[in-house]
Amino acid sequence: MSRVAVLGGGAGGHAVAAECSWAGHEVTLVEMPDFASTIEAVRRTRVVEVLGRGPDPVPAKLAGVTTDVGAPVRDADIVFVIVPCFGHEPMARACAPHLRDGQRVVFLGEGSGALVMRKVLREGGVGADVLLGETNTLPYLARMRAPARVHVIWKKGGTRLAAYPGRRTAELLAALQPIWPYMSAATNVLETVLVNFNAIDHVPTMICNAGSLETRTTACLLWGEGASPGVARAIEALDDEILAIRAALGFADRTPYRDYLF
């Protein structure tokens, strides 16, 4: 059993905390004080309820829930950071002073976190020998359905992991595959940045539907009314550009976006 700190109190953080708990790890869920309300319900009970595994919610018991970043990070063997890209640097700066030799810090969700953390460590003069890593996406789709209750759809593939430095990717992948066996190795952290599903599908869909989104007063289901054949062609054109960049950088994987979805 390892001690795991999960940084980020959104749906992804709740889901990762639950799955690590089910895998037998001692898990502490951590959120920044400014966002304490996101973990208030689970802080009272230390239980995350997960929908999607069966007809009934499946509970996961956590060892702790807190807004104090320091102690959980210092005690952890593995630190998972699950925040949007704009949260990478604030979370990196919050946990950097508490890191120690031999730990693993992995950003799950969107690429660039490992690069940001490395920059923060250098600028802060932090000399801890920490293995950094990141994925291009979360291992699942996750949505909060109520306080302390998250709905999870597990992905069958498409979750690429890279360590920083890249020569240690196999080592990091071996540590995480017992929890997420469908993870696979990326060439390096540049590839995890480029294989970003949100950038590929959300941005063209939002831009192509900008007029409707700006003028309507009701919700828009982007993958219903918003995903017309023209929008799909825009997504494919963007993906073709990303594939060309990946080829120019020498990445062997040529998997197009649509094939990641199955």
Residues of the chain with pLDDT under 70: 1, 261-262
Same domain for 30 and 138, yes or no, is yes
Same domain for 44 and 168, yes or no, is yes
Predicted confidence at residue 262, as pLDDT, reads 59
Same domain for 184 and 201, yes or no, is no
Bridge partners for 131 per DSSP: 104
- Scanning the structure block, which residue is given the tokens 């890249």? 166
Predicted confidence at residue 249, as pLDDT, reads 92
List, for residues 132-177, the tens digit of each pLDDT value: 999 999 999 999 999 999 999 998 888 999 999 999 999 999 999 9
Predicted confidence at residue 155, as pLDDT, reads 87
Written as six digits, the tokens of 135 are 């994925």
- Scanning the structure block, which residue is given the tokens 């799909």? 232
Structural domain boundaries enclosing 205: 197-260
Count how many residues are written for the chain: 262
Same domain for 101 and 156, yes or no, is yes
Same domain for 95 and 41, yes or no, is yes
Predicted confidence at residue 252, as pLDDT, reads 83
Domain CATH number, residue 125: 3.40.50.720
Decide: 233 and 204 in contact? Cβ < 8 Å.
Answer: no
Q: Which helix (H) or strand (E) holds 189?
A: helix 189-194
Q: How many domains does the chain have?
A: 2
Q: What is the dihedral of CA 43, 46, 48, 49, to 10 degrees?
A: -110
Same domain for 134 and 252, yes or no, is no
**pTM for the structure as a whole:** 0.93
